[in-house]
Structure 1
Amino acid sequence: MRAYNFNAGPAAIPLPVLERAQKELVNFNNTGMSVMELSHRSKDYEEVHNKANSLLRELLGIPDTYEVLFLQGGASLQFSMIPMNFLQENKTAHFIMSGAWSEKALKEAKMFGETRILASSKEENYKHIPKDYSLADTEDGAYLHITSNNTIYGTQWNEYPTSSIPLIADMSSDILCKEIDVEKFSLIYAGAQKNLGPSGVTVVIAKKEFLETANENVPTILNYSTHVKNNSLYNTPPTFAIYMLSLVLEWVKEQGGVKKVQQINEEKAGAIYSAIDHSNGFYKAHATDDSRSLMNITFTLPNEELTKKFLQEAKERNFIGLAGHRSVGGCRASTYNAVPKEACEALASFMNEFRDNNK
């Protein structure tokens, strides 16, 4: 029996994708080899690579004015690579702080130039997406950085800033979970291990016009133009992770695309939030109503003893990965695209039952 996988990342991968990968594992496309064994310069792998690129463009509506790159190092490398390339002298990188990953991105940017925090919800333990900020005096801005979804705190941007300076978003934990207007952003980056596939590949979607402003005086492997010129094949890419990414993208398309996936995600999250909201305070959501995430649902119970009991009984029922992050405590259900609706409904039912038995 498959577990009800609510891990925050690496996270659930669609079962049909895993089964297809299993089927093709030792003999991909009649090559007599696994994808992991193919040369990254071979025609068979090139088709996989380009298919992943074209599917992502199709699903997100990425225009030809943008590049799609497959890089390594996770979002964590992007924290450094972005300011290294785009934080020019006499410019400022602006940040809206909504969680731990915003903090990490800011920390790295400070090593390369001037930074400024426009707004932060840290004093409220990141319970909401900051709304009290002004973009009026950001003319000196190299870019504005946001984290679109915050896995630890269970918050998510519903409306993105309309900025006169380049807008950059870390979408590692909610890319493909809902429809977005790519053209609002100059650069989007996302580690794969939440909604795109296994860990190992990082997707970067960047406006060509923005890429032209990059500092060229950086190490070759950390220069975006290197990867643009070489179709993300300058060095050996994470070929198996990109193959898995292409299968996940096919699966999203088969579901009906991002619009349909968003509808399902809203139903999934709605079932669990309903169990919280109708518990008469037994469960308390960490995130405020206007900032609730579709991907990470954080909540607490009345005390630590009940929390431990809840997690133990949940594990016995095959619910995995529900312990909250130490920064928030309590519980967290990560309901990424690959988590079936049935799993979320089963969790909501268990939550109701546990409340009734322990109130």
Structure 2
Amino acid sequence: MSQHEPAPISRRALANDVVAVLAEICEAQIRLHDAQINLQQSQARLITMARGLFDPDAPAETPTSTIETIREAVRNAPVPHSRNEMRLEAYQERRQEVLRLYAETDLLQREIAERCGLHSDRPHKILKEFRARGDERVKQGDARRAKSAALQAATQGGKPPAAQDEGQPVQVRGASDERAALGGSCVPAQSEEFVTASGAEEAVLPAVDPVPAPDDDPLPVDELPKREPIIPITKPKREPPPKPVAASTQIPLALEEKPEPAAAPELPVDRVITVQGPMVIGPTGQWRTSPQIGRTLAILADGQLYGLDRMQRAGRWTDVKFVSAGLTAWARELKEIGVDLIQLKGIGVRLARREIA
């Protein structure tokens, strides 16, 4: 038997599975609803009976028959099947549908799989199982496809399968376009399929393409194109290494002058720092940071004391704890550009120019 790789699930098969699961859920909900109604009715009857038992004016006889009836109703209340049982029932229905379609139609097995929402190789396994049991529907489908194969062979001018010896394989080419005979696998494959006339076994042989004949006869020897002579490639000659130049003749090269670092722009007298976007400019240098940190420190540029909540609003932080957590790192960077960050716990933060010793 040929080994085929399992084909991917088609969109149609997947949609059939989803619809089947939805139908199972609806059936389970209906069963649960019926059971709930029966239990509510039984509960109401028990409550009425209990009230009658505790009523002093009620008759002394106990309605045992009614109690037994309620117990039996509760015990036999419809309970929905488990999910595995419902899936098993749905699968059994699909197996029966595969047998029906195989017996009553000329569909390929892959087409049957699409209609039933199964993998393309599943109908072949189902038919093989029921063929071993001697199922009449499989025999009917085998005979139907044997007749179709014989008519097709007769139409094409070939020898019909019935005229061949018993047990000889009947070749069915183009499995993707033609009907496979006598229960052979209808799954499209890369090789040609052969099925026996009895329909019980199958064998797969690789297709071998004949060697194509040349289109034209070979040219005579006199008419063959002449080849140009091959000129050998000579190896390049190695040039001698250059002679060393005397030290007296060497011309000294001027050393490249490194550009001096740009001086920091001058700050206004009444400002400790100047903020230009992400750039924080101090007395002795510049510090490139994020625009949000720049907005936060810009409010401290005048050297006044501000609270953390004011800095939070200026920098548009979601929480004041982010401002408190970043003070240590900001103080270290500001120190490099000549600015001290002074924090007064519980009061606020201010900036001051760093004194040069």
Whether TM exceeds 0.5 here: the answer is no
Q: Which one has more relative contact order, counting CA pairs under 8 Å at least 6 apart?
A: 1
Q: Which has the higher strand share?
A: 1
Structure of larger gyration radius:
2
Band the TM-score falls in, shorter-chain normalisation: under 0.3
TM-score relative to the length of structure 2: 0.18
TM-score w.r.t. length of structure 1: 0.17
